[in-house]
Amino acid sequence: MLSQVYRSGFQPFHQRLLPWVQSTALSRSPADRIQPSTIRHVRSWSNIPFITVPLSRAHGKSFAHRSELKHAKRIVVKLGSAVVTRGDECGLALGRLASIVEQVSVLQNQGREMMLVTSGAVAFGKQRLRHEILLSQSVRQALHSGQNQLKEMAIPVLEARACAAAGQSGLMALYEAMFTQYSICAAQILVTNLDFHDEQKRRNLNGTLHELLRMNIVPIVNTNDAVVPPAEPNSDLQGVNVISVKDNDSLAARLAVEMKTDLLIVLSDVEGLFDSPPGSDDAKLIDIFYPGDQQSVTFGTKSRVGMGGMEAKVKAALWALQGGTSVVIANGTHPKVSGHVITDIVEGKKVGTFFSEVKPAGPTVEQQGEMARSGGRMLATLEPEQRAEIIYHLADLLTDQRDEILLANKKDMEEAEGRLAAPLLKRLSLSTSKLNSLAIGLRQIAASSQDSVGRVLRRTRIAKNLELEQVTVPIGVLLVIFESRPDCLPQVAALAIASGNGLLLKGGKEATHSNRILHLLAQEALSIHGVKEAIQLVNTREEVEDLCRLDKMIDLIIPRGSSQLVRDIQKAAKGIPVMGHSEGICHMYVDSEASVDKITRLVRDSKCEYPAACNALETLLIHRDLLRTPLFDQIIDMLRVEQVKIHAGPKFASYLTFSPSEVKSLRTEYGDLELCIEVVDSVQEAIDHIHKYGSSHTDVIVTENEETAEFFLQHVDSACVFWNASTRFSDGYRFGLGAEVGISTSRIHARGPVGLEGLLTTKWLLRGQDHVVSDFSEHGSLKYLHENLPVPQRNTN
């Protein structure tokens, strides 16, 4: 009996154990028998990690959104010929296949039921038969043919059915060897069209597949190309009960519906479905495809290998969708994504084209990006006074609609109670004073925006009647992602309007009600000059990571939130610049010549006024000479009164008999009433500490020695460096910028609080009269002048 368990091969332990338990239990009394239900909780094991996910779902209706795909339990993965075969069509892409097998194994070991529909038998057989034909050439024939003729010796055209017959066994042996590495058993099933149209064969096939899935075996299904008849003209796909199996696309769709699968993944050699043939100038990848959209798509030719093209895949996908199976068509050949394309799809990431029967109520994020682009360009062409008028109107709406805004914010606060930490709740909260401050800041932006776009920075006379200008222009489309900060929305909106940029906003779901009404007010203000669509609020289930991939639509990403959010966005952004800082580890150095009257006020304001802010003090550096002095005692007493938890740095702890808890890391942003205190011996050591553990955000020196202060200001390499001032001054509003989109610690383009100027770039305008470069050659008639011309003065009123 134990040998029966051993021979069961690669089944999970509890399923290998089950037949032995059931048969052995017959010899026991009913009370002693082990029931199958008592061992179902035992999970399979292998060298691939797995997680248990809730997978049960009633079949009959496809998933409406990508985010629901993680609940798919039964999945069919169809591997197209272009995915399985090498570029020369003679042999298999082994590395690609190994990666696919690994991903399928991961999902299988999560408790899902995986099935493969694979091509490749013909290519594998062609490789074997070509090899055999070459070997069968006699040595005499090779010698008499001559070296040159040998190189040009033609291989006869190989019949596809013969290739399939020669390749089926080798292909399956390869799959078995690969799946064995993950302790998973695979089984081959060859089918033809008759197996689905003959009722008895269809029932047999269905029963076989269900039994294999029950035993945790991965069925590998393929058309029996050794006996399949030639392809016939397309006369099917007219309904759920009619589809001919003439290629692996139709086979996968038929199998998915027959087996009531939750998800069909079709891997091909293109990223998904495009609205026109891939590679054409205007081709755009379709993120979500809905039934009835076929008229908007122009199909190209089929892939280099295989029976069907993209049109066949779409028809098969729509047929499966009609049968209740969700479908994704994606690229399985790209070396950068093929190693995780299947698992990414199941995780709900935006990969390939997702087929859905449920159309969203509003525009897709791609459509919103296009609207923001066109609206932003219209916004940039308005007169400066018109853009200022929009901002003034938005400022008025913030005070006029105060009650509606606060009511929406109250809903957010009630829903967030108990779910968000206290610092985040404080950020989420809006009040009358906050709205008034916002309105004042917006009016400042409006007043300072009169000559922001189109301002001439430089004028040069290149030659006679050839003049060059450098002028300011908008960056393009901004994506601003913010957490728990509804007051961020009108600030960023005003800056985008003033700078003529299109804007995509992605707020946290904890501020849904507040963001919705604030966005409506922004669009109401924009409507007075017909540019309502320039600012878009993303309300779809779009993941931040997916938004960061829209490099064709977004020119700059500005994250506003936790350091983790910023790091995630910086990691996810592909080809799009990210403006911001991942951490706000701000330092204050108290010099030996610091004023007793100033220090406690500065520390209290920097740490306690708003500890959740990115410009709040996190590390206090004390000169060693100040230890055990009245000044030091005053600092500690004030922090105790303000209930600030102190963490001692290593050197500070060494001076104390009974020290506070020693800091775990000197590179910590607390974001709360917590503070690290460390001791340094000099201003240079303070600077070295800041460079080693700081985040280049804001750092302060407190001293009455002007020489020491200037040394600190010149040598600290941070975006903001202050002398005898609170770290909290590091803010666009306090700098007189009106507002800010964030604080940048980058060294390119903008640094520190980023206001209106940081959202502009430049372009060059050259005005000539039939000038050509050849006129300036050695023997030409013209000479370069390169004269600097006066620049129009800025309007400072």
Q: Which pLDDT score is estimated for 32?
A: 37
Q: Which pLDDT score is estimated for 585?
A: 94
Q: Which pLDDT score is estimated for 750?
A: 84
> SS3 of 400, please?
helix
**Contacts (Cβ under 8 Å, ≥6 apart) of 157:** none
pLDDT in tens, 328-345: 999 998 877 778 999 999
Number of H helices and E strands in the chain, helices first, is 27, 24
Q: Which pLDDT score is estimated for 295?
A: 62
- % of the chain beyond a pLDDT of 70: 83
Does residue 62 surpass a pLDDT of 80? yes
| Mean pLDDT, range 569-584, rounded to an integer | 84
Does residue 700 surpass a pLDDT of 70? yes
Amino acid at 334: H
Q: What is the mean pLDDT of the chain?
A: 83
The one-character DSSP state at 66 is G
CA dist 98 and 722 (Å) reads: 57
Confidence band for 583, pLDDT divided at 50, 70 and 90: confident
pLDDT in tens, 618-647: 999 999 999 989 999 999 999 999 999 999
Q: Which pLDDT score is estimated for 277?
A: 78
Helix ranges (DSSP H) in 156-269: 160-180, 194-197, 199-214, 248-258
Both tokens assigned to 483: 């957490």
Q: Which pLDDT score is estimated for 636?
A: 94
Whether the CB-CB separation of 666 and 691 falls below 8 Å is answered with no
| Mean pLDDT, range 382-399, rounded to an integer | 96
pLDDT in tens, 123-176: 777 777 777 777 765 544 655 555 555 445 555 667 777 887 877 888 888 899
CA dist 195 and 202 (Å) reads: 5
DSSP E strand boundaries for 396-465: 456-463
Please, what is the angle between helix 488-499 and helix 512-526, to 10°?
30
Q: Which pLDDT score is estimated for 794?
A: 65
Please return the burial class of 439, using the count of CB atoms within 10 Å of its CB with bins 0-12, 13-18 and 19+. buried
Out of 191-195, 218-222, 276-280, 752-756, which region has the weakest mean confidence (pLDDT)? 276-280
From the CB of residue 141, how many other CB atoms can be counted at a distance below 10 Å? 11
> SS3 of 85, please?
strand
The one-character DSSP state at 80 is -
CA dist 333 and 407 (Å) reads: 52
pLDDT in tens, 425-439: 888 999 999 999 999
DSSP, residue by residue, 495-532? HHHHHT-EEEEEE-GGGHHHHHHHHHHHHHHHGGGT-G
150, containing H or E segment: helix 147-151
468, containing H or E segment: strand 466-474
Q: Which pLDDT score is estimated for 132?
A: 73
pLDDT in tens, 111-136: 999 999 988 777 777 777 777 777 76
pTM (global) more than 0.75: no
Confidence band for 38, pLDDT divided at 50, 70 and 90: very low
Q: Which pLDDT score is estimated for 675?
A: 96
Q: Which pLDDT score is estimated for 193?
A: 78
Confidence band for 649, pLDDT divided at 50, 70 and 90: very high
Does residue 20 surpass a pLDDT of 70? no
Between 362 and 211, name the one with better pLDDT.
211
From the CB of residue 569, how many other CB atoms can be counted at a distance below 10 Å? 23
Q: Which pLDDT score is estimated for 334?
A: 85
Q: Which pLDDT score is estimated for 355?
A: 93
Question: β-strands 645-648, 674-680: how paired?
Answer: parallel
Confidence band for 440, pLDDT divided at 50, 70 and 90: very high
Whether the CB-CB separation of 669 and 694 falls below 8 Å is answered with no
Q: What is the largest CA-CA distance in the chain?
A: 112
Highest mean pLDDT among 152-166, 541-555, 771-785: 771-785
Question: In the beta sheet, which residues pair with residue 115?
Answer: 76
Question: In the beta sheet, which residues pair with residue 758?
Answer: none
**Contacts (Cβ under 8 Å, ≥6 apart) of 644:** 607, 608, 673, 674, 675
Both tokens assigned to 175: 């799959």
Whether the CB-CB separation of 80 and 338 falls below 8 Å is answered with no
Q: Which pLDDT score is estimated for 613?
A: 86
Out of 440-444, 447-451, 488-492, which region has the weakest mean confidence (pLDDT)? 447-451
**Contacts (Cβ under 8 Å, ≥6 apart) of 459:** 467, 468, 469, 470, 788, 789, 790, 791
Does residue 494 surpass a pLDDT of 90? yes
Please return the burial class of 714, using the count of CB atoms within 10 Å of its CB with bins 0-12, 13-18 and 19+. exposed
Q: Which pLDDT score is estimated for 410?
A: 96
Whether the CB-CB separation of 84 and 123 falls below 8 Å is answered with yes
Between 171 and 697, name the one with better pLDDT.
697
Confidence band for 541, pLDDT divided at 50, 70 and 90: low
| Mean pLDDT, range 710-721, rounded to an integer | 96
Residue with tokens 């699968």: 261
Nearest to 478 by CA among 553, 529, 382, 381: 553
Q: Which pLDDT score is estimated for 531?
A: 96
Confidence band for 228, pLDDT divided at 50, 70 and 90: low
pLDDT in tens, 235-288: 444 443 444 455 788 889 999 999 999 999 999 888 888 887 777 777 788 888
Does residue 713 surpass a pLDDT of 70? yes
> SS3 of 745, please?
coil
Out of 291-295, 369-373, 626-630, which region has the weakest mean confidence (pLDDT)? 291-295
Question: In the beta sheet, which residues pair with residue 326?
Answer: 263
Does residue 526 surpass a pLDDT of 70? yes
CA dist 381 and 377 (Å) reads: 7
> SS3 of 698, please?
strand
From the CB of residue 542, how many other CB atoms can be counted at a distance below 10 Å? 20
